[in-house]
Amino acid sequence: MLNRKSVLSTSIKLAVASTFSTVILVSQAQAFEPARSAECIAPANPGGGWDFTCRSVGKTLVDLQYIKGNVQTVNMSGAGGGVAFAHTVSKRSKDDALIVAASTATTTRLAQGQFPGMNADQVKWVGTLGADYGVIAVSKDSKFQNLTELMDSLKSDPNSVKFAGGSATGGWDHLKVLITAKEAKVDNLPKIKYLAFNGGSEAIVQVVGGHIDAYTGDVSEIKGFMDSGDLRVLAVLSEERLPEPFNHIPTAMEQGIGTIAPNWRGFYVPGNASSDSYDWWVKTVDELYTTPEWKDVMAKNGLMPFHKTGAEFTQFVKNQTLDIRLLSQDIGLIK
């Protein structure tokens, strides 16, 4: 028969064991171990800004061992990001190992209702890793020597210049041209010709080949063509000149046209991904942004500081979507 001392001792041991077990379970529930490999969907063909986002972030995540295996980039073009968005919402809604590249182009399409039946609340917004400023460029043989000459041509005839970009018609690349033309006092904005391609690289090839007059995209997409001399950048749509190696590109503002068009680069994850996995992605993006390795990627590709994550980023997306909806109505893209 157990005495009171033995019973008390046994009760204490059971209580301690129970508490310890609870602590372990809570710890395990809070901890999230990422899958050995992850997947990043780039909603365009290889070579564009979304492709750059997936590949550069994926490589850095692996190099710094946040992911022990690899991060596979899957290109899924179509509908200005709509195909990838629909795929994530309908087929991958609980995938903890999936991230999707996003940008101002994504919020633009959401703002304009271009993803039928879908909205920003159907995914979880992770964060940004920099801003990619817009550019307007022409081929090396173009008659246009600066942005003013190009805008003057549009003033004379809105059909005189044909633009190519990697976003859908009405998307962010198209919007950059219309905003710039509006700032330059060009009339009849809907008559300006814009051809949409599945990624910036396809659009650039058409301009370099002399088939289309001008390219509208982002600075991270043009470095190779700029270095080779095949593409001449007329203007970067930033407040001030970018640092080297882009410091020779004049801003639109220097040329009397007040267009500023930053394109943030970031990610969302499926809407039903676990809270633990979402928190892990948010924390990882926060940490990655501060590393020397990522700072080097930013410097080499013209990305400027721009960082928001988690709840702050989610609210930013909602605000930007509303702003772009109002702007699109003002320019006449949507009613």
Closest of 280, 289, 265, 274 to residue 310, by C-alpha:
280
CA triplet 298, 303, 306: central angle to 5 degrees? 105
* DSSP sequence for 21-49: HHHHHHHHHH--PPPSSEEEEESS-TTSH
152 & 256 share domain? yes
pLDDT at 148: 97
Residue 98 phi/psi, 5-degree rounding, is -115, 130
Q: Which amino acid is at 22?
A: T
Residue 3 domain-assigned (yes or no): no
Question: Could you tell me if 236 and 286 lie in one domain?
Answer: no
Overall number of domains in the chain = 2
Averaged pLDDT score across all residues of the chain: 89
Judgement on whether residues 239 and 197 belong to the same structural domain of the protein: yes
Q: Are 233 and 326 members of one domain?
A: no
Which has more pLDDT, 36 or 197? 197
Residue 245 lies in a domain: yes
Domain edge (last residue) among 262, 289, 319? 262
Peptide bond into 245 cis (omega under 30): yes
Q: What is the mean pLDDT of residues 167-187?
A: 92
Letter for the amino acid at 158? P
**Are the C-beta atoms of residues 62 and 230 closer than 8 Å to each other?**
no
In the DSSP assignment, the letter for residue 128 is E
Residue 26, in any domain of the structure = no
- What CATH number is attached to the domain comprising 283? 3.40.190.150
Same domain, yes or no: 114 and 165: no
Which two structure tokens, joined as six digits, stand for 117? 């039946």
Could you read off the pLDDT of 231-286 as tens digits, one per residue? 999 999 998 999 888 999 999 999 999 999 999 999 999 999 999 999 999 999 99
Dig out the tokens for 258 from the structure.
């007040």
Structure tokens at 137: 């460029």
Q: Are 237 and 133 in contact (CB under 8 A)?
A: yes
Distance CA 168, CA 162 (A): 15
Residue 23 belongs to some domain of the structure: no
State pLDDT tens for residues 279-322.
999 999 999 999 999 999 999 988 999 999 999 999 999 999 99
Q: What pLDDT band is residue 1 in, cutting at 50, 70 and 90? A: very low
Judge if 235 and 145 occupy the same domain: yes
As a whole-number percent, the residues of the chain with pLDDT over 70 amount to 91
| pLDDT confidence tier of residue 16, bands split at 50, 70 and 90 | very low
CB 208 within 8 A of CB 231: yes
Confidence of residue 28 (pLDDT cuts 50, 70, 90): very low
Task: Quickly count: other Cβ atoms within 10 Å of residue 240's Cβ.
Answer: 11
Same domain for 116 and 173, yes or no, is no
In terms of domains, do 127 and 267 share one?
yes
H or E element that contains 103: strand 98-103
6 within some domain: no
- Pair 165, 245 in one domain: yes
Would residue 2 count as lying in a domain?
no
Condensed to tens digits (0 to 9), the pLDDT of residues 84-118 reads: 999 999 999 999 999 999 999 999 999 999 998 99
Two tokens, residue 156: 């004379």
> Residue 29: inside a domain, yes or no?
no
Kind and range of the H or E element at 201? helix 200-208
Pairing of strands 303-304, 71-75: unpaired
232 and 268 assigned to the same domain: no
Among 244, 262, 280, where does a domain finish? 262
Do 168 and 152 lie in a common domain?
Answer: yes
Helix (H, G, I), strand (E, B) or coil at 267: strand
- 115 and 163 belong to one structural domain: no
Supply the range of the domain harboring residue 323: 38-131+263-331
Q: Is the predicted pLDDT of residue 155 greater than 50, yes or no? A: yes
Tell whether 192 is covered by a domain. yes
- DSSP H helices in 157-307: 172-183, 200-208, 223-228, 275-290, 292-301
31 — pLDDT class (breaks 50, 70, 90): low
Quick: pLDDT tens for 205-218. 999 999 999 999 99
| Boundary-marking domain end, from 220, 242, 262 | 262
